[in-house]
Amino acid sequence: MQRGIVFRAWVCASAVASLASGVWTQQPSITWLGTLPNGARSYAQGVSADGAVVAGYDEAVIDDEGVGGELRALRWTRTGGTTPLATLGANSQSLAVSADGRVIVGWTEHPNGWRAAKWGADGSLTLLGTLGGAQSAAYGVSADGAIVVGWADDASNRRAAVRWQADGTVDDLGVPTGFTISWATGASADGSTLAANAYADRNRWRAFRWNASGWESLQLPAGYANSEAHALSADGAVIVGRAFNGLGVEDSVAVRWTPDGAAESLGTFGGSWSIAHGVSENGAVIVGAATDSAGWTRAFRWAAGVGMEDLNRVYARLLGDGSFLEAAYGVSPDGRYIVGVGYNAATNRAEGFLLDTVPEPASLLALSVGLVGLLRARRRP
């Protein structure tokens, strides 16, 4: 046998032995992101593909005189921790990060209201344009950061979904017939397909898919009157959000819309509502929040063929006494990293979290066994 084959077989056999004995160097972990100085609580909204960059915001402490409470955009990195992002006014939010981690988007307070914001890898702030009006906000970004999506006002205060190109050009995506305003919440990896919403009045909100063909209304699950899209898979096929009645979150259900626009209800934990906030690149992993039968809100992960799982149960060993994960807002393209907000008992406050789920050792064990079998087969005459 060649020396290289002997070495590879030894490596695979060692991996099998380590896994079988319960020893594996890559274990699931949770990182609490803390807050900026004088912060009361924080929220993690989006995560890069490698889990090294998280976009989010915190809320400043309100003092005895009622001063404070500002929303402050932040970025967490594996090497630098939690740091503030540049703003123009007292309030700002960072809501999404590109898959490569180089671009974060959201909004910053401006003398005329809100303005869509894009932060570069060096922390530089770029204001994104409007349609001639005063305000705009960004909610989603393409994988490479070139395309940003959200909403903007025109000179007549019409609010419409927009797409900002890399050169700053603003594409007016319009408003579906029968509705008064629209906004985009997520973009495919290349920015050609968007998750979006439109509003007609207090009794009519609908989720849409937008692409070069225009606006496609997404179906409603039986028994629901309204819907809202929150995120889109990188391949543009799967949109996630919720279906509901009325304006509140009560009596809502997390929904996964398939490429043909059909709605699949993801269920709840026995409570009155659930909501989906994030989805992996192929639509196979979805994250969000749901209430249980006792009324507690819990972060969930839904996976194809598995269903909805309470992250507090799956990763209970990572949580200290009293800590829990309340809501998941974003997931990396491969489904490994999940971000959101939970209660950190060690600091006695709500904080953003980064959960590294790491592939389960059982699946790696099967892979290693397969590799050993393959190498043994190569030895046969």
Comparing 242-256, 317-331, 353-367, the range with the smallest average pLDDT is 353-367
CB 89: neighbour CB atoms within 10 A? 13
- Per-residue pLDDT tens digits for 108-145: 999 889 999 999 999 999 999 999 999 999 999 999 99
pLDDT over 50 (residue 281): yes
Do residue 376 and residue 259 come from a single domain? no
Residue bearing the bigger pLDDT, 5 or 151 = 151
Instruction: Please compute the mean of the pLDDT values over residues 294-323 and round it to a whole number.
Output: 95
Residues, the chain, total? 381
What's the confidence (pLDDT) of residue 251? 82
Comparing 60-64, 217-221, 239-243, 280-284, the range with the smallest average pLDDT is 60-64
Do residue 50 and residue 166 come from a single domain? yes
CA distance 42 to 83: 12
- Residue 247: pLDDT band with limits 50, 70, 90: low
CB-based contact 146:155 (threshold 8 Å): no
Do residue 326 and residue 342 come from a single domain? yes
pLDDT over 60 (residue 7): no
CA distance 368 to 364: 6
What's the confidence (pLDDT) of residue 167? 94
What's the confidence (pLDDT) of residue 372? 38
Cα angle for residues 58, 46, 121 (degrees, 5° grid): 85
pLDDT over 80 (residue 289): yes
What's the confidence (pLDDT) of residue 91? 97
User: Domains in the chain: how many in total?
Assistant: 2
What's the confidence (pLDDT) of residue 148? 98
Do residue 125 and residue 2 come from a single domain? no
What's the confidence (pLDDT) of residue 141? 98
- Per-residue pLDDT tens digits for 82-105: 999 999 999 999 999 999 999 999
pLDDT over 90 (residue 24): no
Do residue 6 and residue 51 come from a single domain? no
Residues in a beta bridge with 300: 288, 310
Do residue 255 and residue 371 come from a single domain? no
Residue bearing the bigger pLDDT, 162 or 3 = 162
Full 3-state SS string of the chain: CCHHHHHHHHHHHHHHHHHHCCCCCCCCEEEECCCCCCEEEEEEEEECCCCCEEEEEEEECCCCCCCCCCEEEEEEECCCEEEECCCCCCCEEEEEECCCCCCEEEEEEECCEEEEEEECCCCCEEECCCEEEEEEEEEEECCCCCCEEEEEEECCCCEEEEEECCCCCEEECCCCCCCCEEEEEEECCCCCCEEEEEEEECCEEEEEEEECCEEEECCCCCCCCEEEEEEECCCCCCEEEEEECCCCCCCEEEEEECCCCCEEECCCEEEEEEEEEEECCCCCEEEEEEEECCCCEEEEEEECCCEEEEHHHHCHHHCCCCCEEEEEEEECCCCCEEEEEEEECCCCEEEEEEEECCCCHHHHHHHHHHHHHHHHHHHCC
Terminal-residue alpha carbon distance, the chain = 11
Question: Which residues form the domain of 380?
Answer: 1-26+360-381
What's the confidence (pLDDT) of residue 248? 64
What's the confidence (pLDDT) of residue 381? 40
pLDDT over 80 (residue 181): yes
pLDDT over 70 (residue 4): no
Do residue 194 and residue 90 come from a single domain? yes
What's the confidence (pLDDT) of residue 252? 92
pLDDT over 80 (residue 365): no
CA distance 220 to 323: 36
Comparing 108-112, 200-204, 270-274, the range with the smallest average pLDDT is 200-204
For residue 307, the one-letter residue type is G
pLDDT over 80 (residue 243): yes
CA distance 341 to 43: 5
CA distance 66 to 62: 6
Do residue 267 and residue 202 come from a single domain? yes
Instruction: Please compute the mean of the pLDDT values over residues 353-357 and round it to a whole number.
Output: 98
CB-based contact 133:152 (threshold 8 Å): yes
Do residue 6 and residue 75 come from a single domain? no
Do residue 40 and residue 159 come from a single domain? yes
For residue 341, the one-letter residue type is V
Do residue 352 and residue 368 come from a single domain? no
Do residue 272 and residue 256 come from a single domain? yes
pLDDT over 50 (residue 249): yes
Is the alpha carbon torsion for 337, 338, 339, 343 positive or negative? negative
Which CATH number does the domain housing residue 310 bear?
A: 2.120.10.30
What's the confidence (pLDDT) of residue 320? 80
For residue 228, the one-letter residue type is E
What's the confidence (pLDDT) of residue 3? 35
CA distances from 252 to 265, 278, 329 (A): 10, 16, 17
CA distance 238 to 377: 40
**What is the rounded average pLDDT for all residues in the chain?**
89
